[in-house]
Amino acid sequence: MSLHYIKSKATLGSGPVFTTAISTILGAILFLRFGYSVAHTGFLGTVAIILLGHLVTIPTAMAVAEIATNQKVEGGGAYYIISRSFGLNIGAAIGIALFLSQAISIAFYIIAFAEAFHPFAEYLSRNYADTLGPILPYLLSKRIIGLISMGLMSALMLTKGANIGVKALYGIVALLFLSLLMFFFGESQIPFNEVDFVATIDNPDSFFLVFTIIFPAFTGIAAGLGLSGDLKEPKKSIPRGTLWATAVGIIVYMLVAYKLVTSASLEDMANNQLIMENIAVWGPIIPIGLGAAAISSALGSVMVAPRTLQALGIDNIFPSNKLNGWISKEKESNNEPLNATVISIAIGFFFIAIGDINFVAQVIAMFFMVTYGALNSISFLEHFSADPSFRPTFRSHWYISLTGAVFSFWLMFKMNSGFAFLSLVFMGLTYIYISRHNKDKAGFVKLFRGVIYQVSRQLQVMTQKKDYNSTENYWRPFAVTVTESSYKRKDGYDLMRWISQRYGFGTYIHYIKGFLTKDTHKSAQDSINKLITMNRGSHSNVVVDTIVSPSYTSAMAQVVQLSSISGKSHNMMVFEYFRENTNELDRFKEVSPLMQATDFDVCILSSSYRRFGFMKNIHIWMTSDSYETSSLMILLSYILLGHKEWKKGEIKISSIYQGSREEEANRLNKLILGRRLPISSSNIELHECKTKNGYKDIINKKSIDADLVMMEFSYDEIDDDYNVFKGYDSLANILFVNSRNEKGLD
């Protein structure tokens, strides 16, 4: 099924967004539970609840406005925004939780409506008991009133759809404001100078329990967002309607709390849910206003929840195509999500039958808090990723969104840690289940790719500014190799991945000879795809790349001027040749002036048919003239042992000397002992050799079983026949090393 959200009859504007949101914000909780809040937490405690709630809702409102003005917002509201930012899998996990909270909200508001209807039922009981007779018990049952009201509203929505709901909202909101005005004009019983703004009743409920029960009042910002698929211009209507409703809501909350504390005792507020009725100029307007607020919020929820579920079906989130098609089915006459509405209504009936308004409030609060946390997280990460495609016409700030995200998740656990844990587990299991059936749908990759880019960039800039590599005491390898033999042998690649596994950074570049043309560029792209596949299979930290250049020397001239992946300049060049083909060393000889001019450390890997053997023994050979290079060889050996493939390896150091044995022993002790190196004194040997020509005989004899041999070379020793590299045919791989200066081993 295609992702078709565009409604041919999407004609609504900012008004429905505002009225849907404000009717929820100034809804049942305001009339039924603000007196309870003031009694149990005091006026200042209620103000703190309002402010704390808006530390979540205001950043969320701004995030909603920001994200909505950056992308095309279609059917599905908050789910659409989350799924198009986080990816369909994580978006669907949150979307299902959001749908459930919206559907359960229907029951919450209908239960509240039954509370509003109860005073009228009692009036009928007192004055018309004989006339009403058998139906009187049903009128006095809040659960039955709720079920009947739900049935009537369901019939209205299934036959008339969202348009009749929106039209009804305007009248209901007008009645809602009228009831609030009559409440505010009621006489205040307590003089201002006698009000105790801190006092609470005896044995009050905890602050966060009260906050949990009050919080659904703040969830109205998502109600208007759910109409996104029916809005003519969502990018304008959503931010306008949402932000205005939020601003009006917080003002009214403060005024209601102040009016309550100056007009009634704490005991009366604690024991009378409809205490506002005793304060208003005309008392009956309060249950009427409550009924209007409750039914308007219920209408808003029953319009929004099916559209969230329909959007999930359109995205083929559920495992069965038949089920997705059934859920996303619309009425042809008015594009109403018929089957999604039926499911939403069924959930509403179930929770009305339970009838516990406080329990339902906690479930709603938890799922909405998760949604708000996700929306703020998206906004924060979009800011942080610096994505050029993120160009909203309304701008929030990253620290506002971060505040909203942090408070959302913190408050979840303060409200009810058990519910918070279960809700996160529920979404986690939902994500895993959906991912198994929708493997082609991206998760966090889209959003976090930009974040990773920015983190990497900032770290590189910081590293360059601090210049941590300015002293050899903090030396680590930033190695690079340029080779044509990427697909012929892998010894050089293995060496690079060992170097870059933990302590160093490695860049492996495949060289393509030629000028940069369309064909060579395609060849380079094909090569890098092969290298990435090879990299992935070996779980390597090596960065792979390609370079096209007319000559190897020109390629090297370009590479030595580039920074490594760390942001620092490369400091080591690794070459490789097959021992039976020393002609490959011609390439190194061509570029050796570059290496010397740029002060690169150089390693030349002489690979043989024995390769790296069992990766257990590394033999380092040094002379009294190789002090500077010795430190580099020891560090490289230590770095190799840090890789799991060398975890059983050990380092053996041998020194060939011509002079005093005692002096050579002292030199080795100074170089190695006390340096926290994994080298046992029993693995240090001294070999006297009177002539330099005897060096090779000693090395061949002592290192015949070694898996890797390291020794020094100098540029002065390189002749046309490369004799310095010859004469070691019986050994495994050899790493010839030249260091530009001594490396700190402390």
Q: What is the pLDDT of residues 659-709, one digit of tens each?
A: 778 877 877 777 776 555 667 777 788 888 877 677 888 999 999 999 999
Residues 646 and 529 in one domain: no
Q: What percent of the chain has pLDDT over 70?
A: 83
Domain-embedded: residue 457: no
Taking only the tens place, the pLDDT of each residue in 544-560 is 999 999 999 999 998 88
Element (H, E) at 496: helix 491-499
Residues 597 and 635 in one domain: no
Question: What is the pLDDT confidence band of residue 43, given thresholds at 50, 70 and 90?
Answer: very high
Task: Tell me the mean pLDDT in the region 601-613.
Answer: 92
- Res 745 pLDDT > 70: no
Residues 509 and 527 in one domain: yes
**Residue after which a domain boundary falls, among 601, 627, 661:** 601
Taking only the tens place, the pLDDT of each residue in 95-105 is 888 888 888 88
Strands 617-623 and 543-549: unpaired
Element (H, E) at 601: strand 601-607
Domain-embedded: residue 742: yes
CA–CA separation, 443 and 452 (whole Å): 15
Residues 180 and 161 in one domain: yes
Helix boundaries (H) for 128-233 = 129-132, 136-140, 142-160, 162-184, 207-214, 220-225
Residue 46 confidence (pLDDT): 94
Most confident of the following: 315-324, 385-394, 400-409, 624-633? 400-409
> Strand, coil or helix: what is 581?
coil
- Res 246 pLDDT > 80: yes
> Strand, coil or helix: what is 607?
strand
Domain-embedded: residue 517: yes
Lowest mean pLDDT among 147-161, 163-177, 210-224: 163-177
Domain-embedded: residue 573: yes
> Strand, coil or helix: what is 709?
strand
CATH number at residue 440: 1.20.1740.10
The more confidently predicted of residues 239 and 603 is 603
pTM for the predicted model, two decimal places:
0.64
Taking only the tens place, the pLDDT of each residue in 567-583 is 677 889 999 999 888 88
Taking only the tens place, the pLDDT of each residue in 503-555 is 888 899 999 999 999 999 999 899 888 888 888 877 788 889 999 999 999 99
**In the numeric block, which tokens belong to residue 453?**
């880019």
Residues 239 and 371 in one domain: yes
Helix boundaries (H) for 215-315 = 220-225, 234-261, 266-271, 275-279, 285-314
Residues 493 and 552 in one domain: yes
**Residue after which a domain boundary falls, among 580, 601, 622:** 601
Residues 226 and 77 in one domain: yes
Lowest mean pLDDT among 126-135, 474-483, 711-720: 126-135
Domain-embedded: residue 114: yes
Q: Residue 631 contacts by C-beta under 8 Å, 6 or more apart in sequence? A: 671, 739, 742, 743, 744, 745
Residues 131 and 169 in one domain: yes
Residue 237 confidence (pLDDT): 78
Taking only the tens place, the pLDDT of each residue in 435-479 is 777 665 555 555 566 666 666 666 666 665 565 445 445 678 889
The more confidently predicted of residues 443 and 739 is 739
Residue indicated by tokens 């390898």: 477
CA 205 to chain centre: 35
Domain-embedded: residue 5: no
Residues 63 and 85 in one domain: yes
Domain-embedded: residue 453: no
CATH number at residue 514: 3.40.50
**Residue after which a domain boundary falls, among 573, 601, 629:** 601
Name the residue range of residue 550's domain. Answer: 467-601
- Res 235 pLDDT > 90: no
The more confidently predicted of residues 101 and 86 is 101
Residue 471 confidence (pLDDT): 47
Lowest mean pLDDT among 208-222, 296-310, 382-396: 382-396
Residues 534 and 402 in one domain: no
Number of domains in the chain: 3
- Res 652 pLDDT > 70: yes
Residues 703 and 745 in one domain: yes
Domain-embedded: residue 2: no
Residue indicated by tokens 């109860």: 118
Residues 388 and 520 in one domain: no
